[in-house]
Amino acid sequence: MSEDNSSTGHKSWLDKLAQAFNHEPKTRQELFALLREANRNNLLDDDALGIVEGAMEIDELKVRDIMIPRSQMICIQVDQTPEEFLPAVFEAAHSRYPVIGENTDEVLGILLAKDLLPLILARPDNFSLRQLLRPCTFVPESKRLNVLLKEFRANHNHMAIVIDEYGGVDGLVTIEDVLEQIVGDIEDEHDIDDDNFIRQLPTGDFIVKALTPVEDFNEFFKSGFSEDDYDTIGGVVMSGFGHLPKRNETIELEQWRFRVVNSDSRRLHLLRVSKIR
């Protein structure tokens, strides 16, 4: 008797799974809808859904959408002495630092913080920072994140310098930055927030950081969202949804369509904004 009930329960679970994937999706949006239906039917938990959606999203984003801008790069000059650059290393507490020559456009290599341990212990008199440099990888700002992630894994790199179309340094990107687009925010007390992040995509849409002040958003887009009720555009979007939306949830407010590009269990991170025609 118990065997029959177990068999029935097993068939019921399989039936649910088969029903959820009964109709083959023809578009990306249909696939997302199918995954969310599986999530509502408890066939896919929230974390797994977020990771799958994040993995599918990264082929739409480019390096320029997530990079650390040049103005926020913490660099070490190649001719600095340990007494000059170590305080900055200790304060930033990063694991890797670009080493530059005369200016930021001349990146000579990458310094790994762990390579400084012998220096601290031995204190050599003829110290040369150049001897510690690792090769530097350069990537264009237009490179897609899924391609960059493959290159990071294949070459065992964790950091790349981002260059613009003229060969100048535009910023840097790390493997952590890419992974955060898949699994959500990786908490780091040393992360730097850019509160005014609005960038146009080649398609004409915009990638907007959710922490962008409403005032700045209104000024850029000539919109009229309330600056008294909300501090950030993320607050406006969350209020419109009435809940904390997940990746790829979409809402239309005024003449703008907002799609969630990246979020976690607590807040929004990136939004894709397009004009409703």
Residue 199 falls inside a structural domain: yes
**By residue range, what is the domain housing residue 199?**
193-275
Which residues are 252's β-sheet partners? 257
Instruction: Point out the domain boundary residue: 154, 183, 212.
Output: 183
pTM: 0.57
Instruction: Point out the domain boundary residue: 183, 209, 227.
Output: 183
Kindly report which listed range (117-121, 156-160, 169-173, 193-197) carries the lowest average pLDDT score.
193-197
Q: Decide which of 2 and 31 is more confident.
A: 31
What is the Cα–Cα distance from 241 to 250, expressed in whole angstroms?
9
Q: How far is CA 179 from CA 80, 90, 148, 184, 185, in A?
A: 33, 25, 11, 8, 9
Short-list 139, 86, 98, 95, CA closest to 113 = 95
Q: Quick check: helix, strand or coil at residue 3? A: helix
| Total domains present in the chain | 2
| Run of H or E including 77 | strand 76-77
Asked whether the predicted pLDDT for residue 79 surpasses 50, the reply is: yes
Residue 57 falls inside a structural domain: no
Tell whether 75 and 177 lie within a shared domain: yes
CATH number at residue 85: 3.10.580.10
- Tell me the average pLDDT of the chain: 80
Tell whether 163 and 245 lie within a shared domain: no
The pLDDT assigned to 45 comes to: 77
Short-list 70, 53, 262, 75, CA closest to 173 = 70
Residue 24 falls inside a structural domain: no
For residue 158, what are the contacts with CB-CB under 8 A and spacing of at least 6?
95, 96, 152, 174, 175, 176
Instruction: Point out the domain boundary residue: 183, 210, 227.
Output: 183
Q: How many Cβ atoms from other residues are within 10 Å of residue 209's Cβ?
A: 23
The pLDDT assigned to 161 comes to: 95
The pLDDT assigned to 176 comes to: 86
Asked whether the predicted pLDDT for residue 2 surpasses 50, the reply is: no
Asked whether the predicted pLDDT for residue 8 surpasses 60, the reply is: no
Asked whether the predicted pLDDT for residue 256 surpasses 90, the reply is: yes
- pLDDT class for 123, splitting at 50, 70, 90? low
What is the Cα–Cα distance from 29 to 37, expressed in whole angstroms?
12
Short-list 70, 57, 61, 60, CA closest to 162 = 70
pLDDT in tens, 163-222: 988 889 999 999 988 887 777 655 443 343 454 478 877 667 888 989 899 999 999 999
| Run of H or E including 258 | strand 256-263
Tokens of 19: 């029903």
Tell whether 102 and 197 lie within a shared domain: no
User: For the residues 11-25, what does the mean pLDDT come to?
Assistant: 57
What is the Cα–Cα distance from 277 to 260, expressed in whole angstroms?
19
Asked whether the predicted pLDDT for residue 78 surpasses 60, the reply is: yes
The pLDDT assigned to 195 comes to: 46
Residue 143 falls inside a structural domain: yes
What are the start-end ranges of the H helices in 82-222?
A: 82-92, 117-122, 145-155, 175-183, 214-221
The pLDDT assigned to 134 comes to: 92
- Secondary structure letter of residue 62 according to DSSP: B
Tell whether 155 and 134 lie within a shared domain: yes
Tell whether 73 and 176 lie within a shared domain: yes
User: For the residues 146-153, what does the mean pLDDT come to?
Assistant: 92
The pLDDT assigned to 7 comes to: 46
Residue 245 falls inside a structural domain: yes
Short-list 10, 36, 11, CA closest to 260 = 36
Asked whether the predicted pLDDT for residue 21 surpasses 60, the reply is: no
